[in-house]
Amino acid sequence: MHDVVMVGAGPAALTAAIYTTREDIDTLLVEKGVVGGLAAVTDVIDNYPGFSKGVHGLELAESLREQAERFGAKIELGEVSGVHDEGELKRLETTSGDILAKAVLITTGCDYKKTGVSGEEEYYARGVHFCATCDGAFYRDKRLVVIGGGNSALQESIFLTRYATHIDLLVRSNIKASDVLQKEIQPYLDNGKITVHLGVTPKEIVGDDNGVTKVIGTSSDGKDIDFNTDGVFIFIGLKPNTAFLKNSKVKLNEQGFVITDNNLETNVKGIFAAGDVRSGATMQIASASGEGATAALKIREYLEGRLHNPKVEQLEVTP
């Protein structure tokens, strides 16, 4: 049995683990993918404080992991498929058996949304991709289509210019990315490396035995347009990783994000949530880390029986 089990090992959980383990709270993180979460599959992070020249996502993830492990956090590779509230104890179903914990922190973040268009499933990883830092290297000197108009779509398009000869960026309505990214992408629009097509919705991804050959898009006036390409990268937003909570008592909002109170506690006592998976999260590494730190301190109060007892003295933070 552990004092706290964290589901996922992205920036929110790793930061929380640094705090809990420094307080001698026995902490286990269960991670099904990459330690470091989405931060580990992002090329360069320019807005995480303390790195004046930016930091590679992999490097930040590795340092967070080392820091958490230095204080005694244990990271187990596996997937959590259910969380059950058994009063004082919580039981987590995982790929390597059941784990008991006094408290649980849900930090499972989000995953990429799919378009649902024909060809997307069929050509997955054979021309249809969701991770530029993983699969971009296969598109050296090739043409690409990127679908999406938010921060990720612009950031990843810029990354992919290091490989691709040309990128068609298909945007359903208007660009919704930050001003900073819109400024960053401008030189690539000026030199013709990226062409933005506003008001184009993907209709079909077409290919042959060798992979993808074109994307058919529909313009706002209903006309079909062919975009010849060697591959498609899709960044149309994120959906929370909360399917494993389906049979739990934890309340989710309409989009499936976990609802918490100001203590980052869910409606189930002893089950907390932090980072991108939480309803109201601002989807940034700095905020995920901040929420991780807050959740850790609230978990400490919970384990000490102080969180639900307002009469007890205020929290003391170890410097």
Partner 1 sequence: MVKNITIFTSDTCGYCQMVKTYLKAKGIGYKEVNLDHEPERRAEAHKLSGVLTVPVTVVTKTDDSQEVIVGYNLAKLAPAVN
Ligand X SMILES: Cc1cc2nc3c(=O)[nH]c(=O)nc-3n(C[C@H](O)[C@H](O)[C@H](O)COP(=O)(O)OP(=O)(O)OC[C@H]3O[C@@H](n4cnc5c(N)ncnc54)[C@H](O)[C@@H]3O)c2cc1C
Q: What is the 3-state secondary structure (H, E, C) of the chain?
A: CEEEEEECCCHHHHHHHHHHHHCCCCEEEEECCCCCHHHHCCCEECCCCCCCCCEEHHHHHHHHHHHHHHCCCEEEECCEEEEEEECCEEEEEECCEEEEEEEEEECCCEEECCCCCECCCCCECCCEECCHHHHHHHHCCCEEEEECCCHHHHHHHHHHCCCCCEEEEEECCCCCCCHHHHHHHHHHHHCCCEEEEECEEEEEEEEECCEEEEEEEEECCCCEEEEECCEEEECCCEEECCHHHCCCCCCECCCCCECCCCCCECCCCCEEECHHHECCCCCCHHHHHHHHHHHHHHHHHHHCCCCCCCCCCCCCCCC
**Residue 81 or 279 with smaller CB distance to partner 1:** 81
Site string for ligand X, 163-202 (x = CB under 6 A): ----------------------------------------
Which residue, 294, 264, 249, is CA-closest to 85?
249
Question: What whole-number distance in Å separates Cα of residue 125 and Cα of residue 200?
Answer: 23
12's contact among partner 1, ligand X, none, with CB below 5 to 8 A by partner kind, is: ligand X
**Residue 217 or 231 with smaller CB distance to partner 1:** 231
Per CB under 6 A, the list member of 23, 34, 62, 84 interacting with ligand X is 34
Residues 276-305 that bind ligand X (CB under 6 A): 276, 283-286, 288
58's contact among partner 1, ligand X, none, with CB below 5 to 8 A by partner kind, is: partner 1
Q: Is residue 27 a contact point for ligand X (CB under 6 A)?
A: no
Q: Is residue 30 a contact point for ligand X (CB under 6 A)?
A: yes
Q: Is residue 225 a contact point for ligand X (CB under 6 A)?
A: no
Contact 8, 108 (CB under 8 A): yes
Q: Is residue 241 a contact point for ligand X (CB under 6 A)?
A: yes
**Residue 96 or 267 with smaller CB distance to ligand X:** 96
Chain positions contacting partner 1, by CB under 8 A: 33-36, 40-41, 43, 56-58, 61-62, 77-78, 95, 125-127, 129, 131, 133-138, 140, 159, 211, 231
Per CB under 6 A, the list member of 4, 7, 99, 158 interacting with ligand X is 7
Question: What whole-number distance in Å separates Cα of residue 84 and Cα of residue 94?
Answer: 12
User: Which range of residues in 3-11, 190-198, 263-271, 306-314 is near ligand X by CB under 6 A?
Assistant: 3-11
Q: Is residue 37 a contact point for ligand X (CB under 6 A)?
A: yes
Q: Is residue 212 a contact point for ligand X (CB under 6 A)?
A: no
108's contact among partner 1, ligand X, none, with CB below 5 to 8 A by partner kind, is: ligand X
7's contact among partner 1, ligand X, none, with CB below 5 to 8 A by partner kind, is: ligand X
Q: Give the shortest CB-130-to-partner 1 separation in angstroms.
A: 10
Name the residues that contact ligand X, by CB under 6 A.
Answer: 7-13, 30-34, 37-39, 42, 45-48, 79-80, 107-110, 152, 155-156, 241, 244, 275-276, 283-286, 288
